[in-house]
A and B are shown apart, each in its own frame.
Chain A
Amino acid sequence: MLTLKQSRRLQTVLIATLAWLVALAIFFPIFWMILTSFKTEIDAFATPPQLFFTPTLENYVHIDERSDYFHFAWNSVVISFGSTLAGMLLAVPAAYSMAFFETKRTKSTLLWMLSTKMLPPVGVLVPIYLLFKDAGLLDTKTGLVIIYTLINLPIMVWMVYTYFKEIPKDILEAARLDGATPAQEIYRVLLPIGKGGLASTVLLSLILCWNEAFWSLNLTASSAAPLTAMVASYSSPEGLFWAKLSAVSTLACAPILIFGWLSQKQLVRGLSFGAVK
Chain B
Amino acid sequence: MSISTVQDGVSAVSAPGPTTVKADRQLHNRVGLLTVSPSVLALLVWMIVPLAMTIYFSLIRYNLLYPGDNEFVGLENYYFFLTDEGFVHGALNTLWLVGATLLISVVAGVLIAVLVDTPFWGRGIVRVMLISPFFIMPTVSALVWKNLLLHPVSGVFAAVWNFFGATPVDWFAEYPLQAIILIVSWQWVPFAVLLLMTAMQSLDQEQKEAARLDGAGPIAIFWHITLPHLTRPIAVVVMIETIFLLSIFAEIFTTTGGGPGYETTNLAYLIYSQALLQFDVGMASAGGLVAVVIANIAAFILIRMIGKNLTEKA
Q: Which residues of A come within 8 Å of B, CB atoms?
A: 12, 15-16, 18-20, 22-24, 26-30, 32-33, 36, 44-49, 90-91, 93-94, 96-98, 100-101, 103, 107, 109-111, 113-128, 130-131, 149-150, 153-155, 157-158, 165, 168-170, 173, 182, 207, 210-211, 213-214, 217-218, 227-228, 231-232, 235, 239, 242, 245-246, 249, 252-253, 256-257, 259-261, 264, 267-277
Q: Which residue of A lies closest to B160 (CB)?
A: A48
Assembly CA distance A249 to B140 (angstroms)? 6
Are B39 and A93 within 8 A (Cβ)? yes
B190 within 8 A of A: yes
Chain B residues within 8 Å of A93, by CB: 35-36, 38-39
B167 within 8 A of A: no
Chain B residues within 8 Å of A121, by CB: 247, 249, 268
Which listed residue (A100, A173, A211, A235) contacts B14, Cβ 8 A? A173
Assembly CA distance A115 to B294 (angstroms)? 12
Chain B residues within 8 Å of A276, by CB: 198-199, 202, 232-233
Minimum C-beta distance from A199 to chain B (A): 14
Chain A residues within 8 Å of B313, by CB: 165, 274, 277
Which listed residue (A101, A126, A149, A260) contacts B135, Cβ 8 A? A260
Minimum C-beta distance from B288 to chain A (A): 3
Are A26 and B147 within 8 A (Cβ)? no
Q: Which residues of B come within 8 Å of A, CB atoms?
A: 1, 3, 6-7, 9-10, 13-14, 28-29, 31-36, 38-40, 42-43, 46-47, 49-51, 53-54, 57, 112, 115-116, 118, 120-123, 125-141, 143-145, 147-149, 153-156, 158-159, 162-163, 186, 189-190, 194-195, 197-199, 201-202, 232-233, 235-236, 239-240, 242-243, 246-247, 249-250, 253-254, 267-269, 271-272, 275-276, 281, 284-285, 287-289, 291-292, 295-296, 298-299, 303, 307, 309-311, 313-314
Which listed residue (A12, A32, A218) contacts B120, Cβ 8 A? A12
Which listed residue (A149, A182, A268) contacts B127, Cβ 8 A? A268
Minimum C-beta distance from A191 to chain B (A): 14
Chain B residues within 8 Å of A33, by CB: 140, 144, 148
With contact pairs A120-B288, A153-B42, A170-B6 given, residues A231 and B195 touching in the complex (Cβ less than 8 Å): no
With contact pairs A122-B271, A169-B6, A277-B313 given, residues A19 and B40 touching in the complex (Cβ less than 8 Å): no
Which listed residue (A46, A90, A97, A256) contacts B42, Cβ 8 A? A90
Minimum C-beta distance from B274 to chain A (A): 9
Chain A residues within 8 Å of B239, by CB: 114
Chain A residues within 8 Å of B6, by CB: 168-170
- Pull 22 A–B residue pairs with CB atoms less than 8 Å apart, ordered by A: A26-B189, A32-B148, A32-B156, A48-B163, A49-B155, A120-B246, A120-B295, A123-B54, A124-B51, A126-B275, A126-B284, A126-B285, A130-B53, A169-B9, A170-B6, A239-B147, A249-B140, A256-B137, A264-B128, A268-B198, A273-B310, A275-B309
Minimum C-beta distance from B314 to chain A (A): 6
* Most chain B beta carbons < 10 A, residue from A45, A113, A273: A273
Q: Which residue of A lies closest to B136 (CB)?
A: A253
Minimum C-beta distance from A45 to chain B (A): 5
Overall SS of chain B's interface = helix
With contact pairs A15-B118, A93-B38 given, residues A165 and B154 touching in the complex (Cβ less than 8 Å): no
Are B120 and A15 within 8 A (Cβ)? yes
Are B268 and A16 within 8 A (Cβ)? no
Are A32 and B240 within 8 A (Cβ)? no
Assembly CA distance A45 to B153 (angstroms)? 9
Which listed residue (A12, A46, A124, A260) contacts B50, Cβ 8 A? A124
Chain B residues within 8 Å of A111, by CB: 303, 307, 311
Chain B residues within 8 Å of A264, by CB: 127-128, 131
Are A227 and B40 within 8 A (Cβ)? no
Assembly CA distance A151 to B129 (angstroms)? 28
Minimum C-beta distance from A139 to chain B (A): 16
Nearest first, the 3 closest Cβ-Cβ pairs linking A and B are: A101-B32, A123-B288, A127-B53
* Most chain B beta carbons < 10 A, residue from A118, A119, A157, A253: A118
Chain A residues within 8 Å of B143, by CB: 231, 235, 245, 249
Q: Which residue of A lies closest to B313 (CB)?
A: A277
Are B299 and A118 within 8 A (Cβ)? yes
Chain B residues within 8 Å of A94, by CB: 35-36, 38-40
Minimum C-beta distance from A174 to chain B (A): 9
Besides A16-B121, A124-B50, 7 new A-B residue pairs in contact (Cβ under 8 A), listed by A number: A30-B132, A101-B31, A118-B299, A158-B310, A207-B135, A231-B140, A277-B313
Are A123 and B291 within 8 A (Cβ)? yes
Assembly CA distance A139 to B38 (angstroms)? 26
Are A170 and B13 within 8 A (Cβ)? yes
Chain B residues within 8 Å of A47, by CB: 153-154, 158-159, 162
Minimum C-beta distance from B39 to chain A (A): 4
